[in-house]
A = this chain, B = another copy of it.
Amino acid sequence: MSSVASGGGAAVRRSADRPGLTLSCFLPYRLNVVAAVASEGLARIYSERFGISIAEWRVLATLGEFRSITASEIARHAHLSKVKVSRAASALEARSLLRRRTNERDLRETFLALTVEGRTMYGHIAPLALDYAGRLAACLSSEEQALLDQLLEKLLLHAQDMPGPSASGR
């Protein structure tokens, strides 16, 4: 009786011994494994070949997309903490890939933008990244890709405002 789990809210009977959890079918685990495997090759591209970290890549990619935005906007867009953005920006700035400029309307804020060199590097990495993502998704039909996208989006929005640890079991 591996029992289990109407997700909704129904109480479920389980044997004390076999609560019916199968790791390979456990959604959070699966998402992590797929994400890790999917990132491995890509991370090698930008770490080994361009010497940048994941956080730096995300900042680079965000600035490649939006020419000049504030650090906190990058944090939101790239799903990074402000600390990580600050560190990544410092590292990129030290290599002259990025420039900081204070917002004159609100002196607390800083606009970040790629330098010409930064934009050049972005021009090198982005096609490789796109190619990689393309090859990754190539095992899915375009309908499947769209579907996956929708499902991930739904999941993300839902997960973001899910109560913490087991509301029922506190």
> Binding site of A, secondary structure by majority: helix, strand, loop or mixed?
helix
Report the Cα distance A100→B39, complex, angstroms. Answer: 34
Any chain B CB within 8 A of the CB of A151? yes
| Contact (Cβ within 8 A) A166 B30 | no
> In whole Å, how far is A33's beta carbon from the nearest beta carbon of chain B?
5
Number of copies: 2
Report the Cα distance A32→B154, complex, angstroms. Answer: 15
Report chain B residues within 8 Å CB of A157: 139
Report chain B residues within 8 Å CB of A45: 165-166
Closest to A46 in B: B165
| Contact (Cβ within 8 A) B133 A19 | no
> In whole Å, how far is A16's beta carbon from the nearest beta carbon of chain B?
5
| Contact (Cβ within 8 A) B151 A135 | no
Report chain B residues within 8 Å CB of A139: 154-155, 157-158
Q: Give the number of chain A interface residues (Cβ < 8 Å).
A: 89
- Which residues of A pack against B, CB within 8 Å? 1-9, 12, 14, 16-39, 41-42, 44-45, 48-49, 58, 61-62, 64-65, 77-79, 119, 122-124, 126-140, 144-145, 147-149, 151-152, 154-160, 162-166, 168-169
Q: List 22 A-B contacts (CB under 8 A).
A: A2-B123, A2-B126, A5-B134, A7-B134, A9-B138, A12-B127, A16-B123, A20-B130, A23-B77, A28-B35, A30-B152, A31-B152, A34-B35, A37-B159, A41-B163, A44-B164, A131-B166, A136-B155, A136-B159, A136-B162, A144-B154, A148-B148
